[in-house]
Amino acid sequence: MERGYATTPFGRRPMSLALVQANAASREIPDGALVEKWQVYRWLCEGKTVVGVGDRALAVLSGLLSFYPDDQISEENGLMVFPSNAQLSLRTHGMPSSTLRRHLAELVSCGLVIRRDSPNGKRFARKGKGGAIAEAFGFSLAPLLTRAAEFQHAAEQVRADALALRLMRERITLHRRDIHKLVEAAIEEDVPGDWGGVWRRFRAIVDAIPRRAGLSELEAIVADLTILHDEVDMMLESFMNSTNPGANESQNERQQSDSKTDSNFVFEPAFEKSRAAVEPRQGTDEKLKSYPIGLVLKACPEISDYAVHGIGNWRDLMITAAQVRGYLGISPSAYEEACHEMGQEVAAIVIACILQRAQHINSAGGYLRVLTEKARAGQFSVGPMLMAALKANGVTARMAG
């Protein structure tokens, strides 16, 4: 059985030490070694950038493999294929002879096949007694067998690099979306700060992203966006703390008490009324009779989808709102404070309005706390929120006096 000899190429093709080394490596085949020919070909197609082989050369290799009679390449099945250029051209969809020779030379230089030329440069096989091949001249596929693990590693490396690149692009997308929406929210809510400068820095980073960027370039962009994202978060957090200086202390106290109770806390009207007798509501001059329950449901129809038995009265709306606040990510303490400052009925309307605009609100909890602060200062009225929701839904209504 032929295992590939260090024969010199036919004609003007030069010999090199690399070819000698490839021939020597092809003779170091472990006993019983085998590899599925199309599997190793798939590894090469995936890891071609690592191996350093082109698409057209791989197409020629596919043609050579089609002449190998078995699915598994092994020493027992033989390692030589010997098609003529005419036959190989047919298997490569009519590739011209000059192009075929060029890509065959590329396969040899990449060490994917080993050329074993006959004395006259023709490719053929001599059969011995019994019809078995005694000697063959053509191309040895031994490198595909001896380097199979290398090709598999190259394919895995390319897949890992592609995954890392995809994850890095996802991080850029998330940072871009978050910074964009946070800055828009800050400007819309009149948060003090140099938001114009932040926006210009953001656009400078985004506009500098190349269309075809490598992993190292994207890592630098992610680092810049992370720094800017942190600055935006700190500016917003500082504003929230300044508008509610006692929030941290009160929130810690409420978290300790909430840890011993059910997280889905439902405010009952009786509880709110009893507390209202001791602590009068501040900042609430709303007359709920001016806002019929039907008007609220027309303005904010989505909250009805969360009611188990529908919403027929104010109590149903308040119970449903207490459940919806959890879906919106609003903490029990934020909702309790809103109920205290606005009144539980108005707070329920606010929750319904926030739910209706949830896709446009970055932080429902933070938005509710801002409205609560305005209510505490006597600067909040739920009427404009309802009218805006009605207008957004294309509904016009005339409020009773």
Contact (CB, 8 A) for 295 and 391: no
Q: Give the right CATH number for 17-146 from 1.20.58, 2.40.50, 1.10.10, 1.10.540.
A: 1.10.10
| Number of CB atoms found within 10 A of residue 222's CB | 19
Residue 270 to residue 278: CA distance in whole angstroms: 13
Query: Long-range contacts made by residues 376-384, C-beta under 8 angstroms, separation at least 24?
Result: 376/282, 376/283, 376/341, 377/283, 378/282, 378/283, 378/285, 379/283, 380/283, 380/342, 381/285, 381/286, 382/286, 382/291, 382/342, 382/346, 382/349, 382/350, 382/353, 383/286, 383/290, 383/291
Look at residues 356, 360, 361, 365 and name the one whose alpha carbon lies nearest to residue 338. 365
State how far the Cα of 371 lies from the Cα of 238, in Å rounded to an integer. 17
Question: How does pLDDT run across 226-265, given as a tens digit for each residue?
Answer: 999 999 988 888 888 876 554 444 444 444 444 443 333 3
8 A C-beta contact, residue 116 and residue 80: yes
| pLDDT tens readout for residues 130-188 | 666 657 788 888 888 888 899 999 999 999 988 888 888 999 999 999 999 998 888 88
- Residues with Cβ within 8 Å of 137's Cβ and at least 6 positions away in sequence, in order, are 80, 82, 116, 117, 118, 122, 123, 124, 125
**Over the range 71-107, which residues count as b (16 or more CB within 10 Å of their CB) and which as e?**
eebebeebbbbbbeeeebbebbeebeeeebeebbebb
Q: Please report, for the chain, the start and end positions of each structural domain, with discontinuous segments joined by +.
A: 17-146, 165-243, 262-392
Per-residue pLDDT for 325 more than 80? yes
Q: What is the pTM of this model?
A: 0.49
> Residue 45 pLDDT > 90, yes or no?
yes
| pLDDT tens track for 74-125 | 887 778 888 888 888 888 888 998 899 899 888 888 888 888 877 656 776 7
